């Protein structure tokens, strides 16, 4: 039996264009929230980053309004929408929303129930609050890069995904918003959420940080089981040049791995620090005898904690994700039919059929303002003045 969307009665105004705020909007939309993306009118084109047409689910299910927040009449149009909204997301540098006159206090004066989420790199206060930054910077200060694998020159390897934007930022913001909406049920009031992406990275790094605080140990590459100290937790090249991930932490799983490779004599030495180089070499030689997928077919279902290192192209064709209905179809007015990652997080509601996505230039500004009670003649004036588009 299908369930109604969890956030079907929640309206979100999103002032972000890319990054954590927009990642958050995508998550909330796929839980059923009504997302209204607010951008600048065409005359201010270039002031905001415009994402690629396919990014963030190609804007699947989003509504759009273009409002000039620097114009007094534009701000009033924004407040008309905010008065009926549940959530506002913004990603300005600290102080910018206040200078524009659309900060939490200004919105809450019109709508005391508003949950106002500010997403920034380093938070609304602190010594880095005004620093510019991107994903890699936040991973750097949060300790993630310090514990990551190394390049040949000894520097930290670049991550293969924008982990800070997606998890430490977007998911962090979505979780905070959901908690605030629940708290609002009890209090009747909204609140201002200060979502720092760097704080989110630190949360992701809590295990090594807590280890250091409790023991004085300095975690880093190769310092423990999860960062490469032991051969049972590593990646190995196969005969065809492709790679396998091995994470045989538990002794029983490591024994299964060794048996599958014909290396039973190494079972007692899983965590023997003096033998790790030899063990790693033995595993590498064993995996080099066969192609990746041959090993996957044998060891994957054999309780050996082995998985293929898939390219993005392989991921999109992977039968495991297909069985989980991870991808869906969408129809774009310019680019035609496309495949995309669908609402895959637990509890999200997948589209019942092909999702309809729109060209980014289209807007719903007039309809949304009419819905908010703005008279048609005032909307016409706003459009004539360039305050909306």
CB 227 within 8 A of CB 221: yes
Among this protein's residues, is 134 annotated catalytic? yes
Query: DSSP letter at 387?
Result: S
Give burial (CB, 10 Å; 0-12/13-18/19+) of 96.
middle
Among this protein's residues, is 199 annotated catalytic? no
Write down the catalytic residue from 125, 134, 189, 329: 134
Residue 108 CB contacts under 8 Å (≥ 6 apart), including other chains? 114, 116, 190, 192
Write down the catalytic residue from 165, 172, 199, 269: 165
Q: Name all contacts of 384-387 with Cβ < 8 Å and 24+ positions apart.
A: 385/71, 385/73, 386/41, 386/43, 386/68, 386/71, 387/41, 387/67, 387/68, 387/71, 387/73, 387/74, 387/77
Residues annotated as part of the active site: 134, 165
């Amino acid at each position: 039996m299908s369930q109604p969307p969890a956030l079907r009665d929640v309206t979100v105004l999103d002032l972000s264009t890319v990054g954590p705020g927009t990642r958050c909007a995508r998550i909330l939309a796929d839980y059923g929230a009504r997302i209204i993306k607010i951008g600048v009118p065409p005359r201010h084109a270039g002031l905001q980053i415009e994402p690629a047409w396919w990014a963030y689910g190609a804007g699947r299910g989003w509504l759009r309004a273009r409002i000039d927040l620097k114009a007094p009449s534009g701000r009033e149009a924004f407040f008309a929408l905010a008065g009926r909204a549940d959530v506002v997301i913004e990603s300005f540098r600290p102080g910018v929303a206040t200078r524009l006159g659309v900060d939490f206090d200004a919105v809450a004066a019109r709508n005391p129930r508003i949950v106002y989420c500010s997403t920034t790199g380093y938070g609304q206060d602190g010594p880095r609050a005004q620093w510019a930054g991107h994903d890699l910077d936040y991973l750097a200060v949060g300790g993630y890069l310090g514990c990551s694998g190394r390049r040949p020159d000894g520097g930290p390897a670049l991550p293969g995904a924008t982990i800070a934007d997606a998890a430490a930022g977007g998911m962090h913001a979505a979780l905070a918003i959901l908690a605030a909406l629940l708290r609002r049920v009890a209090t009747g009031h909204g609140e201002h959420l200060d979502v720092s992406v760097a704080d989110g990275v630190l949360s992701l790094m809590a295990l090594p940080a807590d280890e250091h605080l409790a023991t004085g140990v300095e975690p880093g590459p190769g310092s423990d089981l999860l960062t490469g100290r032991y051969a049972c937790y590593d990646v190995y090249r196969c005969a065809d040049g492709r790679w396998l991930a091995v994470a045989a932490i538990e002794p029983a799983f490591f024994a299964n791995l060794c048996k599958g490779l014909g290396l039973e004599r190494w079972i007692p030495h899983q965590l023997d620090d003096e033998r790790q180089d030899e063990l790693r070499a033995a595993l590498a030689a064993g995996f080099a005898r066969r192609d990746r997928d041959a090993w996957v077919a044998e060891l994957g279902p054999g309780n050996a904690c082995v998985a293929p290192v898939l390219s993005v192209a392989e991921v999109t064709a992977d039968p495991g994700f297909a069985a989980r209905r991870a991808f869906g179809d969408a129809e774009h007015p310019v680019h035609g039919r496309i495949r995309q990652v669908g609402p895959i997080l637990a509890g999200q509601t997948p589209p019942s059929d092909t999702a309809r996505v729109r060209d980014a230039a289209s807007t719903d500004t007039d309809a949304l303002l009419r819905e908010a009670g703005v008279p048609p003649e005032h909307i016409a004036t706003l459009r004539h003045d360039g305050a909306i588009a």
